[in-house]
Chain A
Amino acid sequence: MNRTLSTLALVLAASLSMAQPRTFKVVTDKLEYRNLATVESVTDFETFTGRTPKVTGTLNFDLAKKTGTGNIVVDVASIDTGIALRNDHMRGGQWLDAEKHPTIKFQTTRVAHVSGDKYRVTGQFTMRGVTKTITTDATVKFRKNSAETKAAGFDGDVILLQTAFKVRLSDYGIKIPSQAAGKVSNDVAISVKAYALGN
């Protein structure tokens, strides 16, 4: 009897713990290279992609209810387009202004489960100090701590978050210089892939 009660208590505790939102932190340090934030800009001359692994943030995810909140922060100064001079321009005051606005942020305000690993996420996107509400699709995959996660280099429960969306530069106070008008698209495509470990 006692054994049965203990087992039930354990199952109940496990269920409750699963039902609670859990905090996952985006991996940094030696696993940071696995994260990838990209920004793609289309110009007449070239379609270039800036990229950085410097993504931080926290996800509070309820595995049972399939909902949660979270924030993702991308370090602007580390975005690399493959050409040093262009990096300088992009970080400069006319474009992303990394000195005054060192991060690009996304803070969720509403997360709705769509199906499987797919979610519809609404949140506050901040770039160059301007915040706008955007809605995008995201994929959130969870893997429980196991031999497989360890083999992949993750020490604990791990979440993979992926999302992609487009923003208009002009919405964020970025004015394309007159000499580049018509040659540089006002829209840029942003994507984020980040791994987060459970506490």
Chain B
Amino acid sequence: MTMDWLSGYGLQLIFGAVTMLSVALVALVVGTVLGISLGTAKIYGAKPLRYSAEAYTAVVRGVPDLIVIYLIYFGGTVALTKITGQYVDINGFAAGVAALAFIFAAYAGDIFRGAIGQVPRGQTEAAHALGLSPRAAFFRIILPQAWRLALPGFGNLAIILIKQTSLISVIGLEELLRASSVISGATRQPFLVYSVAAILYLIITSIVSWGFRNAGIRSNRGFA
């Protein structure tokens, strides 16, 4: 029994955790870029862009996460099959990352919108007066200050994202939850297996919260 855990099942759980982390990390990066774009569009964008961004948030926030995941997975399969003319089984990893990134962005967009709006107007004016381009003013002056304000909310979303990766077990990607369910079937010790999985989630989310706390302290440099 102990040998099985060490050699086979333990390893399987670790692989599950690694897959979970990879999905979360890629979704976090993609979702953040998309979220900042949405937030920026809502503040600076022309009307059509602004309304599209608002509509996006309303739709993604109003539909259950699981349905978003199914829609992207099956919708992606149908679309690729149509385009290529033969049946394509869409990559679970890609579909999972895309779905989670889209969901993440819908919430992150509003966090960034709020944070950008809180940076005093005088900062943009000073940047412009110094001759900085709108692009440089945004990336060098506004975004770093907005980032500090966004960080607490953003950290929360990142923790939620890590736990949401468990949802993509439904499309067959063997992340931590899926691995746990396979192992608990094989060992018939569901309580033990899921407890171990829960502890792994807890360890990872704790490390991430700790990281965000430190990032928060760092980003407050220079602010009295």
Bind each other: no
